[in-house]
């Protein structure tokens, strides 16, 4: 199993955010912004790995309809003032952070099988990293990846922001619409592991 987890530097950035609450947190579809006066941090989505399990050697070298992607998040320090754009959405302002939890998931990708001429079958899904891979599927699992896919930010006011990738998407939009604000542990624990930042 390959792992794509937060680096030591990224964990340092997250600890800074936890210990020094930002002035504002913004949502910008492809990233979240933690705004401080003259600098800011970005939580953004990054391609962890391109997965091409095609049986064709030519297809393995280039993107095809069978190519899949594993996504992860990264936290980046920007030594410049953040300037909100017209599409920026303010999520919180002047709220004290009480806790940050890292969100991990286990992604798995099955072999590609031709079930009819030019008709292929494959599956990708995700589960909580503490769980075993499913055995009831009738297709071989070829690739397993564990990734940090975001964070949950809890505030002294009891507000909770879920800033993570939902369903291995390449943007935060689906998370924003479904689960961005509130306590969804019961609904999400089958797919994610939540680990408090110490």
pLDDT digits 0-9 by tens, 113-130: 666 666 666 668 899 999
Domain that holds residue 47: 2-196
Average pLDDT over residues 6-27: 98
The whole-number pLDDT of residue 115 equals: 64
Gyration radius from the chain CA atoms: 18
CB contact burial 89-120 (16+ within 10 A = b; e otherwise): eebbeebebeebbbbbbbbbbbebeeeeeeee
Give me the number of domains the chain comprises: 1
The model carries a pTM of 0.86
If you average pLDDT over every residue of the chain, what do you get?
A: 86
pLDDT tens profile 147-178: 999 999 999 999 999 899 988 888 776 555 55
DSSP 186: H
């Amino acid at each position: 199993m390959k792992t794509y987890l937060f680096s030591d530097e990224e964990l340092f950035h997250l600890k800074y955010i936890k210990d020094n609450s930002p002035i504002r947190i913004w949502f910008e579809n492809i990233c979240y912004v933690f705004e401080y006066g003259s600098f800011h941090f970005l939580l953004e989505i990054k391609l962890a790995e391109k997965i091409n399990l095609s049986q064709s050697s030519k297809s393995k070298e280039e993107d095809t309809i069978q190519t899949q992607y594993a996504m992860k998040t990264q936290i980046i320090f920007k030594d410049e003032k953040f300037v909100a754009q017209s599409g920026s959405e303010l999520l919180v302002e002047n709220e004290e952070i009480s806790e940050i939890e890292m969100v991990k998931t286990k992604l798995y990708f099955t072999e590609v099988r031709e079930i009819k001429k030019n008709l292929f079958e494959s599956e990708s899904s995700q589960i909580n990293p503490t769980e075993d891979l499913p055995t009831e599927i009738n297709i071989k699992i070829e690739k397993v990846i564990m990734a940090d896919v975001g964070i949950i930010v809890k505030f002294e006011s009891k507000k909770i922001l879920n800033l993570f990738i939902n369903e291995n998407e390449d943007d935060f939009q689906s998370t924003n619409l479904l689960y961005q604000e509130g306590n969804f542990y019961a609904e999400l624990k089958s797919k994610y592991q939540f680990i408090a930042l110490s």
